[in-house]
């Protein structure tokens, strides 16, 4: 199969779909790889490194889309990318269609087969291709939140760790999954007072077991969460419903009850965000204020650490890339977990949670 890797074009997105070592794996199995020139610049991999791994270099993204049987990316295709997709072509990337009806319709109109990293499952019921970026995003959420607590960034002027004789920051993490666990690790390590909210009692028990007394766990009822945000310095939204739009857990009205200069970090923004006032931002312009509360809602947070992120992502995606390259869409018949990634096929959106989110029903 001819596998194509275009350069990512989302604002300040420096990751790459395939690192050189992954290219070498594909080539060793008899596949061709076509990489757009400069695609690996963000991770320090130049065209010569890709050539050494066995790839051919394309002069433009258009050349990649025109030739490739499968496109491997990181972020969801932008409009000028999905317009270049064609029937009988496989797209393998993050999609997050529940929050993007226009993209869902565009992919369906292209006739391509679109497989989403974020809905592929494993034997444990996890999301193994989402997990590595969730680990990165959870840790970055605390770093970015701490930075924006500074007064010059519009925050409360609080040092997350405090110093002897002063209080550390109160950090609330809403959601105890992979993002939440990694946010908690970082926040605890920096010395914050950390409370994690979740609706699963077994998950709260697990968190209590691994963190001990270094965090507080709370069941995430609406009333308890509403009371807790009043005294929070930082609230991290880390809630995920696989493939579906994120629930809105903090309302606009609740912002008025919060401390001025508190920071909301919405890691769920790819799926529409879990705060009512969330809207996607970029690394160039990452924050905005609503009612005196700082909102950090960058939709591609791991893109700011592309070397770590690209390597971690490829560790998870490569087995599936190889299976798709070897067998094409027939690989879905062999692996139900991979088949769970199928979001668009035959000119239709086929993933039920996406259909529900965009207000459509499955086509007959």
pLDDT the model gives residue 240: 83
Verify that 94 and 135 share a domain, yes or no.
Answer: no
pLDDT the model gives residue 363: 56
**Contacts of 147 by beta carbon, 8 Å cutoff, 6+ apart:** 153
Rounded CA-CA distance 36/71 in Å is 11
Q: What is the DSSP string of 316-343?
A: HHHHHHHHHHHHGGGHHHH-HHHHTTEE
Verify that 299 and 226 share a domain, yes or no.
Answer: yes
Tokens representing 291 are 């009612």
List 31, 96, 148, 295, catalytic entry: 96
CATH number for the domain that contains residue 154 = 3.40.50.720
The pLDDT of 77-81, averaged and rounded, is 96
List 170, 233, 266, 270, catalytic entry: 270
Verify that 9 and 147 share a domain, yes or no.
Answer: no
Percentage above 90 pLDDT, the chain: 94
Q: What is the pTM of this model?
A: 0.90
Verify that 293 and 183 share a domain, yes or no.
Answer: yes
In a domain, 364, yes or no: no
Residue 105 known to be catalytic: no
| pLDDT for residue 362 is more than 70 | no
pLDDT the model gives residue 295: 99
| pLDDT for residue 231 is more than 70 | yes
pLDDT the model gives residue 364: 44
For the chain, what is the domain count? 2
The pLDDT of 234-255, averaged and rounded, is 91
Verify that 268 and 139 share a domain, yes or no.
Answer: yes
* Domain closes at, from 284, 303, 322: 303
Q: Residue 323's domain spans which residues?
A: 2-120+306-357
Verify that 147 and 278 share a domain, yes or no.
Answer: yes
Residue 270 known to be catalytic: yes
Verify that 156 and 220 share a domain, yes or no.
Answer: yes
The pLDDT of 346-356, averaged and rounded, is 95
The pLDDT of 161-167, averaged and rounded, is 98
pLDDT the model gives residue 137: 97
Verify that 297 and 321 share a domain, yes or no.
Answer: no
Tokens representing 121 are 């499952």
Specify whether the CB–CB gap between 84 and 106 falls below 8 A.
no
The pLDDT of 29-43, averaged and rounded, is 98
């Amino acid at each position: 199969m001819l596998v194509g890797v275009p350069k990512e074009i989302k604002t300040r997105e420096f990751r790459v779909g395939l690192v050189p070592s992954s290219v070498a794996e594909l080539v060793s199995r008899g596949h061709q790889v076509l990489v757009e020139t400069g695609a690996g610049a963000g991770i320090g991999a130049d065209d010569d490194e890709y050539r050494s791994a066995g790839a051919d270099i394309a002069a433009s993204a258009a050349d990649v889309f025109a030739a490739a049987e499968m496109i491997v990316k990181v972020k969801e295709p932008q409009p000028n990318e999905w317009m270049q997709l064609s029937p009988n072509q496989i797209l393998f990337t993050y999609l997050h269609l529940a929050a993007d009806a226009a993209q869902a319709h565009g992919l369906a109109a292209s006739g391509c087969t679109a497989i989403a990293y974020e809905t592929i499952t494993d034997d444990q019921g996890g999301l193994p291709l989402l997990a590595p970026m969730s680990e990165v995003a959870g840790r970055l959420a605390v770093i970015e939140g701490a930075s924006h607590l500074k007064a010059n960034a519009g925050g409360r002027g609080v040092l997350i760790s405090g110093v002897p004789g002063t209080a550390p920051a109160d950090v609330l993490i809403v959601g105890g999954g992979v993002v939440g666990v990694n946010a908690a690790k970082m926040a605890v390590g920096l010395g914050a007072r950390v409370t994690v909210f979740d609706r699963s009692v077994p998950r709260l028990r697990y968190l209590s077991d691994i963190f001990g007394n270094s965090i507080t766990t709370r069941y995430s009822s609406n009333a308890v969460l509403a009371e807790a945000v009043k005294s929070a310095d930082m609230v991290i939204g880390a809630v995920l419903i696989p493939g579906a739009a994120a629930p809105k857990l903090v309302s606009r009205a609740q912002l008025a009850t919060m401390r001025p200069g508190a920071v909301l970090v919405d890691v769920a923004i790819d799926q529409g965000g879990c705060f009512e006032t969330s809207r996607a931002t970029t690394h160039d312009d990452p924050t905005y204020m609503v009612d005196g509360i700082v909102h950090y809602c960058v939709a591609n947070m791991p893109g700011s650490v592309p070397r770590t992120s690209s390597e971690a992502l490829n560790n998870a995606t490569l087995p599936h890339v190889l299976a798709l390259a070897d067998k094409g869409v027939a690989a879905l018949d062999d692996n139900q977990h991979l088949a769970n990634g199928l979001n668009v096929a035959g000119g239709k959106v086929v993933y039920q949670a996406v259909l529900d989110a965009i207000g459509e029903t499955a086509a007959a």
